[in-house]
Amino acid sequence: MSDSDVSGAGDGRPVVEMHGVSFSYNEKDVIANAQFSVTAGSFVSVVGPNGGGKTTLIKLILGLLRPTSGEVRVFGENPSRVRSRIGYMPQESDIDSHFPITVLDAVQMGLIGSPLENESRSRKREIVMESLSRMKLSDRADDFVSSLSGGLKRRMLVARSTVSDPDLLILDEPTANVDFLAEQDLISILKDLVPDMTVVMASHDLAFVSEYVESVICVNRTVALHSTGALSSEAFKEVFGKDIKLVMHDQHFRVEDET
Amino acid sequence: MQRALLVSVLAGLACGVMGSFIVARRITYLAGGISHSVLGGIGLFQYIAVVRALDWLDPIYGALLSGLMAAVIIGYASLRAKEREDTVIGALWATGMAIGILFMSLTPGYNQDLTTYLFGNVLIVSSGDLILVAILDAAIIGTSILFYRKLVAVCYDQEFARSRGINVEAYYILLLCMTALTVVVLVTVVGIVLVIALLVLPAAIAMRNSRSISTSMIRASVIAILLCVTGLAFSYSLDLPAGATIILLSGLIYLLSAAYSSIRLSS
């Protein structure tokens, strides 16, 4: 296996492959010559500065954008042909937070385009409630999405992206603007999904990345793959253009009951 | 009067269904652009009908054509050039009105139709208009039922909808075309100037306590029908313009419902 391959705990089959992929917008290179593959059962993070191409790379994997050159394959095929096997959680900023929709109806949207879409109404409700139960949200099924806190909204979006039982889960900045406890909660949910699911997650949170994922795809126009253990300050400097110092805090805090 | 009541019921159904999408998606200004641009088609078709002596060429077909064209243009501007969307809507709004007024002024003979189209006159609706409104209603309601889940997905989260294989562009433009059909239905009742109010107010009242868009559609349709029929009754007995009376009543009910919600929230 080459340096540009990420191997997971699955059967070694490539799930995502990029062969010399470039993408330009308004004659400006956004992604240049990306070459890597991600195998089944991996937990991978895509990191890079704002505007560096993380979301563009995610959209190329999903087939929402076509590369200017090169080839993207997901499960060995054009991504647009395997959408039913991919779960996606977009950035929350794209959603209207005041839209009148319940948690149940929002999660049920995740069944569109999957074989489960043609199930009976009662069966679909069962499937959605199972997904909500995994995210500990079943008691909020009939509440409006707008009534959920930031952390619960993220869990709802994960429920929506996993309700169709996808083989590949792609998340765009799932822990952005979320507090520490909600972040930890979300991370533990995502870790439980691997290795049954391959998870690719865009994140700007380097601390999280260094602690939880196996491999990192560094994106700032060019794309470089590193296993987390081999991450160095040179690698980060190449991506972010600055020296970045990661400090590990080995402190445990306990809240004591003063009564 | 019987035809007026029937048109009011049909108009209420259409605006309950489409108004719910428009309010939920917050595209009132897009709907406004479409509604004002229909005057262009009305004026043009009326001019051609009179000058060429084509009695069968109803101006309402011109409204349909210009409304659908405006829906497609605004839809593309909204999807592909968001930063120019306001300008495109403003341009279509003003140009449509100007074309309509121009052709109406060029139309030979006595012309009372401008006022009728601007402010509506449900009391002079013909049998032909009633049949057309019924067909448009069937198209609007049928399409909404057939594509409900996908239309709601496109309204709520376009990015996610795309990832599920939904052709977001096609469904968004379909939504705007359905809005154009609804505008043509409502022009007969309240006229171009007040169409937006009837499209939006019943849905805004209904949405306060509805748990889904589909529930809001049913409630908004009932509210719209009651407002249209009650407004019509008031205008008939008090000899007031029907369209304006319906809209005043709608506005009053909306303000009362907003005040009630506000009081409930604070207590």
pLDDT band at B110 (very low <50, low <70, confident <90, very high): low
pLDDT for position A257: 46
Given a cut of 70, whether residue B112 has pLDDT beyond it is: no
Given a cut of 80, whether residue A210 has pLDDT beyond it is: no
Which residues of A are less than 8 Å from B166 in CB distance?
112-113
Q: How many CA atoms lie within 13 A of B125 on its CB side?
A: 31
Which residues of B are less than 8 Å from A200 in CB distance?
none
pLDDT for position A50: 79
pLDDT for position A258: 46
Asked whether the bond before A195 is cis by omega within 30 degrees of 0, the reply is yes
pLDDT band at A61 (very low <50, low <70, confident <90, very high): very high
**3-class secondary-structure state, position A171:** strand
- From the candidates B80, B149, B160, which should be mutated to test the interface with A, based on the most A CB atoms within 10 A? B160
- From the candidates A95, A109, A143, which should be mutated to test the interface with B, based on the most B CB atoms within 10 A? A109
R_g (Cα) of chain A, nearest Å? 19
pLDDT for position A130: 95
pLDDT band at B206 (very low <50, low <70, confident <90, very high): very high
Q: Which superfamily is assigned to B2-261 in CATH?
A: ABC transporter involved in vitamin B12 uptake, BtuC (1.10.3470.10)
pLDDT band at A1 (very low <50, low <70, confident <90, very high): very low
Per residue in B229-243, pLDDT (tens digit) is 999 899 889 998 888
Is residue A115 less than 8 Å (CB to CB) from chain B?
no
Q: Which of B156, B162, B166 sits opposite A101 (nearest CB)?
A: B156
* DSSP secondary structure letters along A54-88: HHHHHHHHHTSS--SEEEEEETTB-GGGSGGGEEE
The residue that leads in pLDDT, B68 or A225, is B68
In percent, how much of chain A has pLDDT > 90? 42
Q: Which residues of B195-221 are buried (b: 16+ CB within 10 A; e: fewer)?
A: bbbbbbbbbbbbbeebebbbebbbbbb
Which residues of A are less than 8 Å from B165 in CB distance?
80, 83-84, 112-113
The residue that leads in pLDDT, B243 or A108, is A108
> Residues A9-36: what's their mean pLDDT?
85
Given a cut of 90, whether residue B138 has pLDDT beyond it is: yes
Question: Hey, CA dihedral for A199, A204, A209, A211, is it positive or negative?
Answer: negative
CB B178 within 8 A of CB B144: yes
Does A142 contact B211 at a Cβ distance shorter than 8 Å?
yes
- From the candidates B163, B168, B208, which should be mutated to test the interface with A, based on the most A CB atoms within 10 A? B163
Given a cut of 50, whether residue A214 has pLDDT beyond it is: yes
In percent, how much of chain B has pLDDT > 90? 46
The residue that leads in pLDDT, A2 or B245, is B245
The residue that leads in pLDDT, B84 or B221, is B221
What is the rounded average pLDDT for all residues in chain A?
A: 83
Does B212 contact A88 at a Cβ distance shorter than 8 Å?
no
Given a cut of 70, whether residue A230 has pLDDT beyond it is: no
What is the rounded average pLDDT for all residues in chain B?
A: 89
Burial-class residue A143 by CB neighbours within 10 Å (0-12, 13-18, 19+).
middle
Q: Which ipTM score applies to this complex?
A: 0.83
> Would you kindly state where each structural domain of chain B is located, as residue ranges?
2-261
Cα B42 to Cα B25: distance, rounded to the nearest angstrom: 28
Q: Whose structure tokens read 């309240």? A: B190
Cα B165 to Cα A125: distance, rounded to the nearest angstrom: 21
Does A113 contact B166 at a Cβ distance shorter than 8 Å?
yes
Lowest mean pLDDT among A124-133, B113-122, B237-246: B113-122
Q: Which of B153, B155, B163 sits opposite A88 (nearest CB)?
A: B163
CB A30 within 8 A of CB A222: no
CB B150 within 8 A of CB B224: no
pLDDT for position A225: 80
Does pTM top 0.80 for this prediction?
A: yes
pLDDT for position B116: 79
Lowest mean pLDDT among A58-67, B111-120, B176-185: B111-120
Per residue in B35-58, pLDDT (tens digit) is 889 999 999 999 999 999 888 888
Given a cut of 70, whether residue B20 has pLDDT beyond it is: yes
Which residues of B make CB contacts under 8 Å with A? Answer: 24-26, 149-150, 152-153, 155-166, 207, 210-213, 216
pLDDT for position A211: 72
Lowest mean pLDDT among A3-17, A153-167, A239-253, B112-126: A239-253
Lowest mean pLDDT among A28-32, A126-130, A155-159, B43-47: A28-32
Does B212 contact A64 at a Cβ distance shorter than 8 Å?
no
Name which of B198, B207, B211, B199 is nearest B257 in CA terms: B207
> Residues B204-227: what's their mean pLDDT?
91
pLDDT for position A204: 76
Domains assigned to chain A: 5-98+165-240 (3.40.50.300)
Given a cut of 80, whether residue A250 has pLDDT beyond it is: no
